[in-house]
Structure 1
Amino acid sequence: MQSSGSQPPSTPSEPSGPEITAAPSKRGLPRRTLVIIIVAIIILGAVGAFLFVYLGTGSVLVTSNSQFIPAGSSTSFTATVTPPSFVSVNSIQWNFGDGQQQAATGTNPSHSYSNPGNYYVLATASLSNGKTSDNSQGLFPVQVGDPPLPANPNPFGVARSFGILSFNKTLSSPGVPFVATGGHVAFVGVVGQAPKFHYDVNVDALRNTWTNYSWNVTQIKLDFGDGSAAATNGTGNTAYPSADEPTIKSTHNYTNGGVIVATLQVTTGNFSNTQTNGTPNWAPVAVGQTETTTVGLTVAIGSYAPLTYSGAVIKPGIITSVEQVTGGYTTLDPALDYESTGFEVISNIYETLIAYNGTSTSDFVPVIADTVPTVANGLVTPDFGNYTFHIRAGRKFSNGDPITAWDVKYSITRTMLFNSGSPFPNGWIISQFLIPPTFVSRLTTPAGCKYGDPGCSLDGPLTFSTVYNSITVDNSSQTVTFHPFAPVPPLLFDEVIADPLGGGIVDHLWLEATGPKLTWNAKGFLDYENYSALKNYVPAWRNGAVGSGPFVIDYVANPDSVVLKPNPGYVALPGVPAATVNKVVLQYVADPATRELALEAGQADIAQITPAHFDVARRLQGLGLIRIQFNPTLNEIWWNFNLEIYKSAVGSSTNPYGNQVPPNFFVNMSMRKAFAYAFNYQQYFDQILGNKKFNATFGIPFNGIVPKGMVGYEDLSGMNVFDMVQARTFYNQTAWVRDHGRNTGFTIALNMEQADTVAREAAAAWAQNLQQLGPNINVLIKPISFEEMIEDSVPHENPMGIYFLGWLADYPFPTDYTLPMLYPADSPVTSPSPDGGTYPNANGYNIQYLAADPNGTDQVATSRQIRAWIDDSLVKNATNLPAVVSDSQKAQEAFARLWLWVPAYQQYTFFTFRTWITGMDKELNPVLGGTDLLYNLLTKPSSTSVSAASVGTGLGVSYTPISLIASSAPWARAVVPKGESRLAERGQRG
């Protein structure tokens, strides 16, 4: 800058005017003075700039070696402090978001989280310039999961329950859980899973004395974390039944700023007691027999914001899927599990010899085998009598053990031996081709007698030789060959061997290191079968796994959650990619509102929203938060009639669900017809399921077990008629009215999965109609956990009268439906292992049982025909598709005329997931049933570096019409979804 004294005089351009005498000019400053002034200005500017920087705050970025840990474990944090120049860090004050704080001089503290929850971490650095710097605009998120199960869980079950604490984003102040001072949070607190500690023992049969061992929730308490009074529901000494757990919904105002933790405590109490002449009632016992759990949720009041990645992603690399499940899985043993909750876990941690190729249901890729066997490549004999698989060289289990042909033989042999187990084994799927009598339990001695008859027992030598010789191994060539006892078409055999349930390959060295060894002789085989009974499940096999899939178990906290992590040694294969995320957290949450709130808040990436709440899904989609994807399925759900109701009697009974009818109440066909005609199908589809209510298709009618879209389908839904006049007519013709008179009522319970609110509503509507059949009819609505429903389904010991359950296919062929659902047993009435299908065994549908009951003799001949037609489709006509279709359709028509069920719907499912999840379009193979996911097909931003990248905004509903189920293959190869072959407890999963 130049001094004004050095500038030349200006020359005006205006016209000249009167002369003005200029004033004498001022004397200019000496040059030296000007230089001093300039230097001083520069120095002052530099000092100002220095002081501006020196007295600044810099920045803090918090990271961790893990954003997810189980409760009771610790994780390390790192604070990267970028202070101003010439400034050092004196100390760091840590707030871990769970109510715990720590002052440290270092930047890498370790912290242990005691309670599950969602927390945010604040680090505040004290600087040498007297200032502080923090990460208030990027609080670091930590997800703490439920604590792992102990190595040897209590055989009675789990006595404690964890709560789930969330918030209603719509009813809270903007930004929740980050709210301005004076803002409010609308909390929602629920019980995650009811205690599973329920067990009855008849301690004195003569006096009808029972000891009822049970734990129940007694109280739920919400602490807001700011010192104000807690909100409480429950007195602490009154038991809440599992179908009616206490909840808390409370909106709280926060007047003071800070990072605090809100907590939810759930208290359970011991209500075990002994009672004579009746079902035990809950009654409090000694004080102190309680358990209390706590979950937490960080709330930040003031000017705070979360650290996000790739746009709005909160927890990169962690997929949290909140699923509609109660009771957790039954077992993680692929030789035993037969339900969809366990199937999902098994499918992600175990591999099969071959697998479906993408969404195709007729094309396969080799996995543990290195080639898909065919007649052309010589690995299938032309008579379809031998199938040889060569084991892929170098393939290893997750613990580093090599996969051998012997592992394959060992794994499939276990599946066949465990087929006689309980409650629902999967072994029939492969056994039907390898064991001549279909079921191992029918290999009896003396020859020709039936297991369960006096003097009959399992034939050890015959069992051993039949099972052992059905699979041969060549250790030198590393090949394993299956020898079906009758020809099996290659497509059908491929479908069966690709099923993880029964076909998952387990490390036999791990099995023998953690449980009993399989001894390869007659006695050893019979002894090994004992471990297939629910009461004898081996804990390590039930809750652990060593497979070769893309994931391994991080830990299990059944019935609340399962956590998976990538298999570190996994080698991707064509069609079978490796995992791309660091963790998969499967949370089992019964309460529908909690699942929806978790999805809206970003605490969940995927959450199941039921059809009844489809308006919630549409709202979240409209906000740009989620995508909706409809999925084709061949899933079917129905109401089962149990012909042999355990512990049920007229008047007072010890039945756990309150059934007070004769055990054979539903043997009488007129009673079944009366109940079926009282079901309002149109109301169910239009308003309860919601097709008309939401102008969407969540299901279609069916009758005849083979679903629409699959070879062998026959539409018998015209039999599904609501007619109360017909219902009363048939009721008046029942044996009950004949024997007791029309004015004598009864009590019957309807059981459904606890989390299925749609089924509850359907049951309530049906109950109103049933109570109009005659005077004094009492219908109870009894929701129970899915696991309890499965464990109830034991031959001769099933206490449910009517229950809502369904089927998702094991393999796409008619026999996967006709055999497990329609095939009646033909066994001695008291046989512990009847030889019928999955549902007939559980429901007392046994030809000899019907023949022994005067009310069932009219159904014997038709039942024998059904059994003969299915037998033909399995053996004589197995390779003749038109004959299989004919046999299947005849069996379906005859079964429908027996009115052994009330068909509800064939399912359309939909996924609801946050927009940052990609790959969901790869989950459309109907063999997955539209309910279970392969998480190695999904991606979520996994970078832990902050990014401004935006998330895609394509939010249109992706809908695949049901007609596409059959479009990828001819009718002979149409698709089938997985599940209730794995029993389907989840009508929907988002």
Structure 2
Amino acid sequence: MTQPENPQQAPSKPKRSSAAKWIAIVVVVIIIIAGVVVVVTYHPTTPTKKTEKVTLSAPLVYTSTKIATTNEPISFTITNVTISPTNVTWNFGNGYYGYGSSVTYTYEYPGNYLVEVNYTYGGSFATNILSLYPITVSRNTTTINSTFSAQLTNPLILFNKTTNPTAPIFNQSASMDLIAGYLQPPTATGWSISQFTWTINGSTFKGQYLNTTANETGLYPIILNAITSNATSSHSNVVEESVFVRQTNQAAGILKGKGNVMNPNLITNAEVVPGGPYSLDPQIDWETVGMEVIRNVYQTLVAYNGTSTTSFIPVLATNIPSVANGEISSNYLNWTFYIRSNATFANGLPVTAFDVYFSIVRELLFTTGSPGTGGYTLAQALLPGYASGTPGFNNYYNITKAVTFSNSTQSVTFHLFKPVPYFLDLLADTPSSIMEYQWAVQNGAGLVFTPSGFNAYMNESNAPDYNLYLQWHTMGSGPFEVSQVQQGESITLIPNPYYHPPAYGFPKSNYTVVIDYVKEASTAVLMLEDGQADIVSGLPTSSIPSVQGLESTGAANIYTFSTMTTYFYPFNFDINETMLHSIGASYVIPSHYFANIYIRKAFADLFNYSEFLNDIVGNAKFHMTLGTGYVGLLPPGMLGYKPENQWENVPSYNITQAKEYLEMSGNLSTVVNFPMFVQSGDTTNYAAMAMWAQVIHSVDPNITATPVYITFSQMIAYTAVNQNPMPIYDLGWGTSIPDPINMIPPMYVAGGFYPSGDGIESASSLAAIGYPNEAQNFSLIGNLSNEAASNPNVTQRALEYQQANQLGINMTLYLYTYIPSGMWIYQSWLKGVQYEENPVVGGEVDTLYCYLSK
């Protein structure tokens, strides 16, 4: 047991004013004097009537909000009383008190609080301890700048539910087993968590784990202080949690919603994605973590109809255009959309055709952004120079010819240069999200509609020139708006007060949503067990037994489904050695080391695929299919898919073949020492890379590789063109369009999302550094992809994509790891999860919170 150290003073209770004491004294004196007068003057003939006790109803609590931020005043009112109560006392669950039927209180620290209220009438007393009122307070991040935030950690108070199943309600003298969790450690260079300090009733303890005894009865706080520091400075970050310790035979409980639901107005998702999203700007962000927020805040003209990948519903559009209704031309080159008149942004302004026009123009201008953006999806249909890589293809002339609008009819028309049968898929994707133009102007993102204005605006799609306000603030017309952002730690969504749902789908929500980005999977599981999280996602497969244990007791549900998501390790053809040295001075590797095809093939043949799937992913270990092997970029359900054994040149675990490739590479005597980058918290791929590195080193001792954790958002940032220091890294692709058009071009075509970040901006760039065969193959893939994109013959189109896919497999551009089985893990009280199954909504990992309820 941890021993208490020097007591630290807990927050003091507010004192009554001296004026109140003098009033009490005056009242007492008057009563005494009056009593003397009565005695002297009167001789009553009947005895004094005693005060009778009456039965009082248990009070209830009404508040202005159940979900608040620090420094936000909350009004509390006692209700469910049939008489005028006297001596109303409030205990706010943090050691502070208030008095009166209606009070206002402001919490200083974030935490989960319980509020007790009691009152008297005559000689009777009533209290709400059977239904203590819960209040959730989050940190107000508006006063925290990103530099300071990076030096902090957000602590969590977690209870061991095995030993404390009724926490935060305890019996007197019971053991309290507490765990100090945290969302993420500090991300600022040189900063780390140095200490956790607990304060309970004036006693102070140190350590991440605390076992103590609940000696004092009543309602009071547990205070956890997470101290972070570097060589010269330190910061404290406090969180509180109310506990109620009941006396012998005393009953106590917490007010819950229907079905015994915790925090009935709040949905919390604990995502094991350290670092959180890269951006919230829909025309910049092209990764699933940021897309989740974007999908809940912004809207597109159309969307997929529920779980269908072939049927669409209008969202901002009044209807789906067709040739029959005259909104698609007979040659399928002109598509007109009329804007729904009651669609409204979160600032109360209506969505107009010009807002749509601006957002689409912005998307096309940002097609060439770095790190890669999603604008290429729409550019394939609207800008003829994109496919051939013509410089300046997204210029003023081409864009204004491709998209036009009408203020008088509130419509937008797209002018395609070729028929595209999947055009609605492109418009349903997050890069085509609609942003309010005046808000963008007010925050420095206005666009000058001239050729020079367009050229200048393109710069804002590159990381050094991002509009930082738009990167972390939003203005959409979706069911939610962003209320709080603590970069890398958490994002809070609240209902959009001006939201008007479309005729189909995307209902209005009354819930506040908190998305916590958690570093440790164990923390996320504890949050689920403790009731602090309704959903957990991003868990490594090693956490499955813990979740299965919760499911067996009815504490959680596991919902599985198939996916089109692919995971892989890219090989970087052009490593930024300068940046790599800044990450680790001992790292040494030639910049074009992995441009050598025989090095890539050798590495691919040194990966033990069966051990990875059976023991590390855990198919055999956990007796369930958590992932399946694959090769190429046409997953099951995609046009052109073929089973793994029907492709040629498929890598396999073959040490003899790998040695031959190493000899053919001409690099057997080359000494290299480099990191393999893994997303923080991803213990599955960390173990896989450690296994891989060991085998590689055993075959060639000149090669030393070490898995290294970095945050997801930092990994995305590193993929900027000519800036990527990662020789090998762990990422994936969750297709948002169920067509090879969103697999082959971004993954296999030179200049695509991944190739551009891995040093393959064009086929000619490979020829220039001495790899003409790779250059020729990339040219062939580009030609096949372009032909397939506009081919109306489905059979021929599938064949062209298969040929492109085979060329990609031949070049071993990636080490293909697995296709995961989709898995939703959530509290048993959460409803609506069945609406989250669409395999192309953020690669089936994003949650549409408007469908969820408790």
TM-score w.r.t. length of structure 2: 0.89
Determine whether 1:77 maps to 2:88: no
Matched with 1:981 is: none
Q: In 2, Cα distance between the equivalents of 1:426 and 1:508?
A: 20
Amino acid in the other structure paired with 2:601:
K
Q: Tell me which of 141, 154, 160 is aligned to 2:152.
A: 160
Q: Distance in 2 between matches of 1:645 and 1:769?
A: 23
Q: Distance in 1 between matches of 2:633 and 2:316?
A: 33
Task: Tell me how far apart the structure 2 counterparts of residues 394 and 837 of structure 1 sit (CA, whole Å).
Answer: 38
Q: Aligned equivalents of 1:299 and 1:314: distance in 2?
A: 15
The alpha carbon displacement at 1:769 in A equals: 1.3
User: Is 1:338–1:426's contact at 8 Å kept on the other side of the alignment?
Assistant: yes
Which position in structure 1 is the counterpart of 2:691? 765
Match of 1:508 among 414, 424, 437: 437
| Contact 1:386-1:484 at 8 Å conserved across structures | yes
What one-letter code is carried by the residue in structure 2 that aligns with 1:137?
L
Aligned 8 A contact 1:701 1:905 in 2:
yes
CA–CA separation in structure 2 for the residues paired with 1:656 and 1:483:
50
From 738, 751, 757, the counterpart of 1:842: 757
By how many angstroms is 1:862 displaced?
2.2
Residue of structure 1 in register with 2:850 after alignment: 936
State the one-letter code of the partner of 1:932: D
Q: 196, 211, 214: which one pairs with 1:254?
A: 214
> Is 1:910–1:930's contact at 8 Å kept on the other side of the alignment?
no
> 1:658 and 1:806, CA in 2 relative to 1: closer, same or farther beyond 3 A?
farther
**How far 1:58 sits from its partner (Å)?**
4.9
Question: Shift of residue 391 of structure 1?
Answer: 1.5
Compare 882-891 and 656-665 and name the one that shifted more. Answer: 656-665
Is 1:728 the counterpart of 2:659? The answer is yes
| Contact preservation (8 Å) 1:704, 1:715 | no
- Distance in structure 2 (CA, Å) of the matches to 1:844 and 1:657: 22
In the alignment, structure 2 segments of 5+ residues that lack a partner are: 1-48
CA contact (8 A) 1:554 1:565 kept: yes
- Superposition pairs of residues 502-581 of structure 1, within 5 angstroms: 502-581=431-510
Which amino acid is the alignment partner of residue 141 of structure 2? P
Please give the alpha-carbon distance, in whole angstroms, between the structure 2 residues aligned to 1:440 and 1:408. Answer: 27
What do residues 368-408 of structure 1 show as CA deviations (whole Å, max 9, x unaligned)?
Answer: 11111112222111222111111122322222212211111
516 and 622 in structure 1: CA distance in 2 versus 1, 3 angstrom threshold: closer
- Aligned equivalents of 1:261 and 1:157: distance in 2? 25
Q: CA RMSD in A?
A: 2.4
Residues 146, 487 of structure 2: 8 Å contact kept: no
**One-letter amino acid of the counterpart of residue 911, structure 1:** W
- Following superposition of structure 1 onto structure 2, how do residues 319-468 of structure 1 map, counting pairs within 5 Å? 319-438=267-386, 442-444=390-392, 463-468=395-400
Task: Give deviations 1:738-795, integer Å, cap 9, x for gaps.
Answer: 5x4xxxx421211111021211121222222122122253221211100000000011
Corresponding position: 1:225 with 2:200:
yes
- Superposed displacement of residue 256, structure 1: 2.2
Q: Which has the larger radius of gyration?
A: 1
Q: Number of matched residues? A: 796
Q: Secondary structure at the match of 2:412?
A: strand
Residue 61 of structure 1: aligned partner: 60
Q: Which amino acid aligns with 1:735?
A: G
1:122 aligns with 2:116: yes
The structure 2 residue matched to 1:746, chosen from 672, 677, 688, is 672
Q: Structure 1: which amino acid aligns with 2:664?
A: Q
**1:181 is aligned to 2:181:** no
Unaligned runs of 5+ in 1: 1-46, 198-213, 233-247, 271-283, 445-458, 825-835, 941-990
The 2-side partners of 1:335 and 1:419 are apart by 9
The residue type paired with residue 484 of structure 1 is: L
- Give me the whole-angstrom Cα distance separating, in 1, the residues matched to 2:187 and 2:741: 35
Match of 2:564 in 1: 634
Equivalent in the alignment of 2:245: 301
Structure-2 separation of matches of 1:80 and 1:597: 35
Partner SS, residue 365 of structure 1? strand
Counterpart amino acid of residue 91 in structure 2: N
Deviation, 1:629, is 0.9
- Give the match for residue 902 of structure 1: 815
Indicate which of 794, 814, 817 corresponds to 2:740. Answer: 814
Take 1:157 and 1:188, find their aligned partners in 2: how far apart are those partners? 23
Structure 2: distance between partners of 1:439 and 1:553? 36
Whether the aligned pair in 1 keeps the contact of 2:614 and 2:620 (CA below 8 Å) is yes
Cα offset, 1:863, TM superposition: 2.5
Give me the TM-score of the superposition, normalised by structure 1: 0.77
Equivalent residue in structure 2 for 1:779, among 699, 705, 714: 705
Match of 1:407, SS state, is helix
Deviations 1:137-162, CA, capped at 9 Å, x for gaps: 211111112322459x4479733221
Partner of 1:22: none
Q: State the identity as a percent.
A: 30
Residue 504 of structure 1: CA displacement? 0.7
Q: CA deviation at 1:679?
A: 0.9
Q: Tell me the SS of whatever aligns to 1:897.
A: helix
* One-letter amino acid matched to 1:554: S
**Cα separation, 1, equivalents of 2:693 and 2:254:** 49
**5 Å matches for 1:907-986?**
907-928=820-841, 929-940=843-854
The equivalent of 1:968 in structure 2 is none
Rounded to whole Å, the distance in 1 between the matches of 2:578 and 2:561 is 40
**Aligned-pair CA distance for 1:525:** 0.8
Amino acid at match of 1:646: N
User: For the Cα contact (< 8 Å) 1:562–1:586, is it kept in 2?
Assistant: yes
State whether residues 314 and 504 of structure 2, in contact with CA within 8 Å, keep that contact through their aligned partners in structure 1: no
Deviation at 1:126, TM superposition (A): 5.0
Aligned-pair CA distance for 1:930: 2.4
Task: Output the amino acid matched with 2:239.
Answer: V
Q: Deviations over 1:303-353 (max 9, x none)?
A: 432112213112112111111211122221111111111111111111111
Distance in 2, matches of 1:778 and 1:165, equals 40
Aligned match of 1:755 = 681
Is the Cα–Cα contact under 8 Å of residues 690 and 698 in structure 1 kept in the other structure?
yes
Give the Å deviation of 1:568: 2.0
- Partner SS state of residue 160, structure 1: coil
- Offset from partner CA, 1:55-108 (integer Å, 9 cap, x none): x6652323322111123323222223648x7x841241x32223x31241x122
1:655/1:563 CA distance change after superposition, 3 Å:
closer
> In the alignment, is the contact (CA less than 8 A) between 1:716 and 1:893 conserved in 2?
no
Report the CA distance between 1:497 and its aligned residue.
0.5
Equivalent residue letter for 1:113: Y
**Is it true that 1:493 corresponds to 2:423 in the alignment?**
yes
Change (3 A) 1:373 1:156: farther
Tell me how far apart the structure 1 counterparts of residues 667 and 91 of structure 2 sit (CA, whole Å): 69
Deviation per CA, 1:27-68, whole angstroms, max 9, x where unpaired?
A: xxxxxxxxxxxxxxxxxxxx99x84x44x6652323322111
| Pair 1:403–1:147, CA change in 2 (3 A) | same
**Partners of 1:333 and 1:807 in 2: how far apart?**
19
**Partner residue in 2 for 1:17:** none
